[in-house]
Amino acid sequence: MRDHRAFSVQQAIDLLEEELHRARMENFQAAQLAENERTRRMVQVGNLINAIGHFQTHQDLRDIHDRM
């Protein structure tokens, strides 16, 4: 009420609840973004491991073919 954003106690309570809700949503969004980044990195590592596995399989097949 002192900063003239609210003209009654109820308005002040409503503003406080709104600010708290906004802060919770911002924190939730930040957590989601962090989890998305973590998942993206895990997928990149998985793709790299998969590519290495394919390369090794290809090398193994070439070695078998060369021994024939």
Give 1-56 pLDDT, tens digit per residue: 556 777 889 999 999 999 999 999 999 999 999 999 999 999 999 999 999 988 88
| Residue bearing tokens 């078998």 | 64
* pLDDT computed for residue 62 by the predictor: 82
CA angle (18, 22, 27) in 5-degree steps: 150
Residue 3 has φ and ψ, to the nearest 5°, of -90, 10
